[in-house]
Amino acid sequence: MGIDSKRITPAVEINDGRDYVPTATPVVFAHHFAAIAGAGPIIGPVMAMIYGWGPAWLWILIGGIFFGAVHDFSALFVSVREGGKSIAEVARKSLGTAGFIMVISFTIVMLILVNATFLNTSATALTSVIDSAQIGLNKDQIFFRWADDGGSKVIVGGIASMSVIIITLFAPLIGYLYIKRHVSVAKCSAFAILICVVSVIVGFFVPVSLNPLLWMILISLYTIVAAGVPVWLFLQSRDFINVHLLYIGLGLLFIGIFASGIRGAEERFPVNNIREGISHVGFLWPGLFITIACGAISGFHALCAGGTTSKQVKSETAVHKIGYYGMLLESFLAVCVISTVIVGIDMHQYKQLVLPAADSKFQSNPILAFALAFGRTLHSGLGLPISFGILFGMLLLEGFIVTSLDTAVRLNRYLFEELWRVIFKNPPKILNHYWVNSSLAAGLMFGLAYHNTVNNIWSIFGTTNQLLAALTLIIVSFWLLYQKRSVWFTAIPAVFMIITTVAMLVILLVTRFIPQGNITLIIADLALLGLSSGIITIVVRTLYNFKTGIPLSVPVINDIEE
């Protein structure tokens, strides 16, 4: 790729104190990993395990190494080289203005779907209810808020709710210490861990119990604020605090699996369940690849890379550590999730929680399935109470979701600002104001989440997410072509993912959205198909022009070597 340790990065060159802020690599890695992980590497693998754990594990392993990590590293590197520009702006140089408008429009639609999915998931996680007998609780225990007077059901999201609130309130203080006062990362980490511990302890005694709609409203309002204020105030600093919980949770997850194996825990889940998976989700291809989503490859990561991360990197040598290894850590998390479900729940419990019958009064809740499996894995491996594992599973998942939400709304704000500059020669002043664009992004997110469940939008979210990854790899491939560098390692994954995702959009439209009469998702699907067709047409034409030596109508990209 041509990494140059002496080359000045956009964060150092611009350093405006709001978006471009040169930051220590461990802090940027923490922000980037917390932002990219989201709910995807947990919920996707859990839902895809209806095919059996074998196919899911295999795609995560192959996809994570050869597709996802390559995608994340190359997208981040290109964004840094292009002055911290988004992948849509890079597309403008290689595919022209028409390609830029289509890519940016596609990305805005995709981000709205991502945000709606994560918002819905977050509200579900914070209000999840489970039978107290399943987790070994009795009415005398105070760790959770009871959902009924008889003590038969318990709200397991109350402690995580309080933890989220406290971490958010302390985020500006952490940001002030390491950005404004230049306190060392080690000292800030120690303080961040203290905040995490205190947030959980307070949550034990003052669990928060709100209804899902109120949670969606409050989180939407928070993201409007977080997307407009300087990046260090909430986004970067909140991610830095929260990532310590994520690291601890991931460590516990791995240790629990390893200990369960040593102690002879039995495999409770089938390695091969493809026939039933086909009946519930659809054919193994493209169904499995789309359902796994972020655990193997994710276009959302390119948005994080080009939107916020590339504006914080201090040196090009940090790009590989942040981009490539960040994705490998996410795939490792996805593999751990699969291993936990194998040990923690059986197929009967799985279908009760993840794929309830049509006449069931319960909605699909893959979050709760993971949390229950996590609790039982820690119990079988380390002897910890099941309730403790469920609590930490909720903390882990909720931390990933909220950190992704505030990043994604900020990214959508950037994209709206870019779009107005293309549509209008002189955009109205109101459209240049970040509060307006943040509110527009959050409002569209809330509207879609309010009218759809997690199950309804997961498939189209996964499809759009993977399709954006394919488009990113195409854009990176053109960037490499103009630098006269090898492109096979980005072009092969791009072609495979384009075919897979377009096929899934057609299948979803014909077999699910039209029969359901879901107008919102029918429109979204058709819009995505139209934009995809337009982008593919431009890509083919641009490639033909490149091969035949026809000059580009846009400025040639700067050489990698100065």
pLDDT at position 144: 56
- pTM for this one? 0.83
Whole-angstrom distance, CA of residue 535 vs CA of residue 97: 11
Q: Given phi > 0 = left and psi -120 to 50 = alpha, else beta, which region is 541?
A: alpha
**235-262 and 158-175 helices cross at what angle (nearest 10)?**
130
- What residues contact 499, with CB distance under 8 A and at least 6 apart? none
Whole-angstrom distance, CA of residue 541 vs CA of residue 536: 9
User: Kindly report the CA angle at 66 between 65 and 68, in degrees rounded to 5?
Assistant: 70
Amino acid at 348: H
368, two tokens: 């709760």
Superfamily of domain 10-548: Amino acid/polyamine transporter I (1.20.1740.10)
Could you tell me how many residues make up the chain? 562
User: Kindly report the CA angle at 86 between 487 and 425, in degrees rounded to 5?
Assistant: 125
- CA dist list (Å): 404 to 33, 148, 226, 549: 9, 32, 12, 42
CB–CB of 282/49 below 8 Å? no
CB–CB of 367/121 below 8 Å? yes
What does residue 23 show for φ and ψ, rounded to 5 degrees? -140, 150
Strand order in the sheet with 145-146: 129-131, 153-155, 145-146
pLDDT at position 329: 94
- Give one DSSP letter per residue of 254-280, joined into a string: HHHHHHHHHTTPPP-S-S--HHHHHHH
Whole-angstrom distance, CA of residue 110 vs CA of residue 202: 37
Whole-angstrom distance, CA of residue 320 vs CA of residue 511: 41
pLDDT at position 153: 64
pLDDT at position 455: 65
CB–CB of 72/308 below 8 Å? no
pLDDT at position 561: 39
- Give one DSSP letter per residue of 301-347, joined into a string: HHHHHHHTGGGTBS-THHHHHHHHHHHHHHHHHHHHHHHHHHHH--H
pLDDT at position 72: 97
Widest distance between CA atoms in the chain? 77
- What is the residue-level pLDDT of the chain in tens, covering all 562 positions? 888 888 999 999 998 877 788 988 988 998 888 778 767 788 899 999 999 999 999 999 999 999 999 999 999 999 999 999 888 888 887 777 788 888 888 888 888 887 888 888 777 777 766 666 655 555 545 455 555 555 556 666 677 788 888 998 999 999 889 878 888 888 998 999 999 889 888 887 787 877 888 888 998 999 888 888 887 788 778 878 887 887 888 889 999 999 999 999 888 899 999 999 998 888 899 999 999 988 999 998 998 898 889 999 999 999 999 999 999 999 999 999 999 999 999 998 899 888 887 666 666 778 888 988 998 999 999 998 887 888 788 777 777 677 778 878 888 888 888 888 888 888 888 888 888 888 998 998 898 888 776 666 778 888 888 999 999 999 999 999 888 889 999 999 999 999 999 999 999 999 988 998 888 889 888 988 988 888 888 888 888 887 777 655 444 444 433 3
The DSSP secondary-structure symbol of 296 reads T
Whole-angstrom distance, CA of residue 316 vs CA of residue 69: 17
CB–CB of 85/20 below 8 Å? no
> For residue range 134-175, what is the model confidence (pLDDT) as tens digits?
555 555 454 555 555 555 566 666 777 888 889 989 999 998
> For residue range 48-83, what is the model confidence (pLDDT) as tens digits?
999 999 999 999 999 999 999 999 999 999 999 999
pLDDT at position 551: 52
pLDDT at position 88: 81
